[in-house]
């Protein structure tokens, strides 16, 4: 479906009215390279690291890449950043929009390539190890199912530790930070803190589907922060430019529909898996569960003003059933 518009302009508008800043195609376009988004990446990453007493350097390379996510083969967008501190220490940073346990292994491998590239003939292994860059990763968790239920703090640092007590940090060059955005409403307002302002801005745009101007009107503290932080201002400006592009709007629409279809397929697969092995006498209960799921998908699609033909395909309901829901 990518690249072809099979829908009316009004359908496209209903889905692309406010595009999430955490959607893969939007992230790819905003963080294209260090020239267009280097200040934005540096401001955001620096705010996260500062919460844990770490300093970030100057961005010297910025790029996005796509990576498959799990068995469903969905693509996840990753932002790779290479920076240099004021003491010329190399900083290798990765930001991604989902949790991935292999993130440190990938970063360590990338860091080893950096060390090897700068090594000269005869360089001792101890000397090479001393050049190991500071490596960290930020997982922006946008769904409550990926967050920790027992700890609702927004920032969750994850460190490699020794197994035996005392459980000290094993390798201080490596850090992972899980950003639990769904819990943002439980955090005390702190507009003087760049980390809070970044999280609040992303939360309102992603979860509450607000444009930057709407966030400013609701939270003057965010408007003041963006006006005083060149990186945040660059991010908002890039978001406005990217989401105004008709080609990007179509790409976002395609991505949105693929995601919706994939989620529907996965929900159906889970439902079928739960039903396997149940007694024949519970067939009626299973049918009710399937019908409820179909209705939920249909109502969501109707709220997005999608065409009836597409709602039929997504939900499995008949045209008559869909039209009945539309009249309710």
pLDDT single digits (tens) 10-45: 455 667 778 999 888 899 999 988 999 999 999 999
Please, which pLDDT band fits residue 140 given cuts at 50, 70 and 90?
confident
Residues 239, 251, single domain; the answer is no
Residues 255 and 217 placed together within one structural domain of the fold: no
Q: Which residue has the higher pLDDT, 245 or 312?
A: 245
Max avg pLDDT among 50-59, 99-108, 309-318: 50-59
DSSP H helices in the chain: 9-16, 24-30, 34-50, 103-118, 125-130, 194-206, 212-218, 220-228, 230-243, 246-275, 283-303, 308-315, 319-327
Using 50, 70 and 90 to split pLDDT, how confident is the model at 3?
very low
pLDDT, tens digit (0-9, with 9 covering 90-100), for 264-301: 765 666 566 565 544 454 455 445 555 677 777 778 77
| pLDDT beyond 70 at 49 | yes
Q: Token pair of 158, please?
A: 């994850």
CA angle 110, 112, 115 (to 5 degrees): 115
Does residue 13 form part of some domain? no
Q: Which residue has the higher pLDDT, 106 or 285?
A: 106
The verdict on 150 and 231 lying in the same domain is yes
What is the pLDDT averaged over residues 198-226?
95
Position 141 pLDDT exceeds 80: yes
Q: In terms of domains, do 209 and 323 share one?
A: no
**What are the C-alpha distances in Å from 156 to residues 167, 178, 196?**
17, 5, 14
Do 213 and 290 reside in the same domain of the chain?
A: no
pLDDT of residue 245: 93
Question: Are residues 154 and 64 part of one domain?
Answer: yes
Q: Is the pLDDT at 201 greater than 90, yes or no? A: yes
pLDDT at 205 over 70: yes
**pLDDT beyond 60 at 200:** yes
More confident residue, 256 or 47: 47
* Maximum CA extent, the chain: 78
Residues 168 and 204 in one domain: yes
In a domain? residue 15: no
Q: Distances in Å between the alpha carbon of 164 and those of 113, 167, 169, 170, 292? A: 31, 6, 11, 11, 49
| Same domain as 205, residue 129 | yes
CB 111 within 8 A of CB 128: no
pLDDT band of 202, cuts 50, 70, 90? very high
Range in 25-29, 59-63, 79-83 the model is least confident about: 79-83
Parallel/antiparallel/unpaired status of strands 74-84 and 90-96: antiparallel
Say if residue 267 is in the same domain as residue 301: yes
Q: What is the pLDDT of residue 274?
A: 60
User: Residue 261 belongs to what domain range?
Assistant: 247-274+283-327
Quick check: is 6 in a domain?
no
pLDDT of residue 87: 67
- Which range among 72-76, 289-293, 321-325 has the greatest average pLDDT? 321-325
pTM for the structure as a whole: 0.71
Q: Does residue 238 fall inside a structural domain?
A: yes
Residue 132: inside a domain: yes
Indicate the number of domains in the chain: 2
* Domain-located, residue 36: yes
Q: Residue 7's pLDDT is what?
A: 36
Mean pLDDT of 304-323: 77
* 167-188 average pLDDT score: 79
What does the pLDDT look like over 143-166, one tens digit per residue? 777 788 888 889 987 766 666 666
Is the pLDDT at 305 greater than 80, yes or no? no
73 lies in the same domain as 177: yes
- Look at strands 134-141 and 90-96 and give their pairing: parallel
- The reply to whether 79 and 111 lie within a common domain is yes
In a domain, 57, yes or no: yes
For all residues of the chain together, what is the average pLDDT?
Answer: 77
Query: How many CA atoms are closer than 13 Å to the CA of 48, on its beta-carbon side?
Result: 25
Same domain, 160 and 304: no
d(CA 13, CA 81): 33
Please indicate, yes or no, if residue 3 is contained in any of the structural domains.
Answer: no
């Amino acid at each position: 479906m990518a690249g072809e518009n099979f829908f009316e302009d009004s359908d496209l508008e209903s889905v692309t009215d406010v595009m999430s800043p955490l959607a893969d195609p939007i992230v790819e376009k905003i963080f294209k390279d260090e020239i267009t988004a280097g200040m934005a990446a540096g401001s955001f990453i620096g705010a996260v690291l500062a919460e844990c007493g770490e300093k970030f350097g100057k961005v010297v390379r910025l790029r996005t890449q796509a990576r498959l996510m799990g068995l469903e083969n969905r693509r996840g967008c990753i932002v790779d950043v290479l920076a240099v501190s004021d003491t010329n220490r190399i900083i290798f940073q990765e930001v991604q929009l989902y949790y991935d346990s292999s993130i440190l292994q990938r970063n360590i491998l990338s860091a080893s390539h950096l060390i090897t590239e700068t090594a000269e003939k005869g360089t001792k292994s101890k000397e090479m190890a001393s050049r190991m860059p500071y490596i960290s990763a930020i997982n922006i968790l946008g769904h409550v199912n990926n967050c920790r239920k027992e700890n609702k703090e927004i920032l969750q640092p994850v460190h490699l530790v020794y197994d035996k007590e005392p459980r000290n940090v094993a390798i201080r060059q490596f850090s992972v930070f899980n950003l639990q955005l769904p819990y943002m409403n439980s955090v005390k307002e702190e507009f003087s803190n760049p980390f809070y302002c970044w999280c609040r801005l992303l939360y309102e745009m992603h979860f509450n589907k607000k444009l930057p101007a709407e966030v400013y009107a609701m939270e003057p503290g965010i408007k003041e922060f963006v006006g005083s932080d060149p990186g945040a201002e660059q991010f908002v400006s890039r978001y406005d430019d990217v989401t105004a592009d008709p080609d990007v709007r179509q790409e976002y629409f395609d991505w949105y529909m693929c995601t919706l279809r994939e989620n529907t397929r996965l929900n159906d697969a889970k439902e079928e898996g739960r039903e396997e092995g149940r007694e024949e006498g519970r067939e009626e209960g299973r049918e009710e569960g399937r019908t409820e799921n179909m209705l939920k998908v249909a109502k969501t699609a109707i709220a997005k003003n999608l065409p009836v033909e597409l709602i039929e395909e997504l939900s499995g309901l008949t045209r008559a059933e869909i039209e009945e829901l539309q009249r309710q």
